[in-house]
Structure 1
Amino acid sequence: MTLPGARTAVEWLVSTAPDPDACRWEWERSPLGVALLPAGRDWDVLIVPGELGRGALGVLHLLAGPPGPVLAHSGGGRVGFFVPPGTAARWIGTGVRGAGRGSWVVVPYPGRATGGVRWLVVPDGRGTLTDPAALELALHEAAAERALAERDGTP
């Protein structure tokens, strides 16, 4: 299955690779369907615990404007939000890891199923990223909702 806009998402993603043509060639032929791409130039990734990340993504969908690309570990343990470069170096938050300059991120081919990571929000190809301020608010809201649910004994 190929998602609408997958080609533009692929072009946008491989543009971050040191050798975009080699990256695209390998990525499209790899049985794993993943590429290792450098963070820190065009985007950083903030990685949060899965339940909190999925809750924050729900909140982001309610805010004005679409979120940027979002990855999830197939086991559900972690969610990664693509944010502007430099965000990871400045972000302070318990349980949040940042992948910025000097980091590499495993990225699945848009529109293909992989065994390790998957897209919750596929890149739009235009470079849309999640606004860090909106993400911070969404994380706070998701954490508050989670705390209320735990207090009330609801799942």
Structure 2
Amino acid sequence: MQGVEWLAAASADPRTCKWEWDHGEGVSLLEAGRFWDLLSVPDRLGLLTLDLLWRPSLPVPGPTLVDTAARRVGFFLPPDPDGGWIGAGLRYANKGAWVAVPPPYRPARFLEWLVPPDGSGTLHAPGTLELALREANGTLAVLRPVCEEQ
């Protein structure tokens, strides 16, 4: 599976990474900043954003991970040494940060791929992701007062 090889390549030891996925805890710690960075957002914002990214006019979204325990969605982006993502609730993992990742073929613990890596190296386009996040955030801002009334 190409997704496995691509994802494991971000590990210091790809062979051990794959062993952990199959025989260990099912999760491996991978270093961000080399092949990809990770933008983590609150789950409601992330799920709505991902839904917006599935528009027919857009390319298929890049790898996207959900952590149901932390209630966060992570979008895999091209490495950005400046890490210019700023906003309430946003967390950005780049060079020097480690990310817990399950194998692309099954969930592990509280981690599950919403869009698994396909092995091609395709990642989210930062500009497209930013526009979808802004739109989703606007939608949630409108819906929040309606939800609170009920």
User: How far apart are 1:132 and its partner, in Å?
Assistant: 0.9
Tell me: CA distance 1:19–1:124, structure 2 relative to 1, closer, same or farther (3 Å): same
5+ residue gaps in structure 1?
A: 1-6
* Runs of 4+ displaced beyond 6 Å: none
Q: Distance in 2 between matches of 1:28 and 1:88?
A: 35
Tell me: CA distance 1:138–1:87, structure 2 relative to 1, closer, same or farther (3 Å): farther
User: How far apart are 1:129 and its partner, in Å?
Assistant: 0.3
Output the aligned Cα RMSD: 1.8
Equivalent of residue 28 in structure 1, options 13, 22, 26:
22
User: How far apart are 1:76 and its partner, in Å?
Assistant: 6.3
2:63 equivalent to 1:69: yes
- Where does residue 110 of structure 1 map in the other structure? 104
**1:119-147 Cα deviation digits (max 9, x unpaired):** 11111110110011111111111111112
Equivalent of residue 121 in structure 2, options 124, 127, 140:
127
TM-score normalised by L of structure 1:
0.88
User: How far apart are 1:87 and its partner, in Å?
Assistant: 6.3
Tell me: CA distance 1:37–1:73, structure 2 relative to 1, closer, same or farther (3 Å): same
Q: Distance in 2 between matches of 1:149 and 1:50?
A: 15
TM-score normalised by L of structure 2:
0.90
Give the paired residue count. Answer: 148
Letter in structure 2 aligned against 1:45:
L
5+ residue gaps in structure 2?
A: none
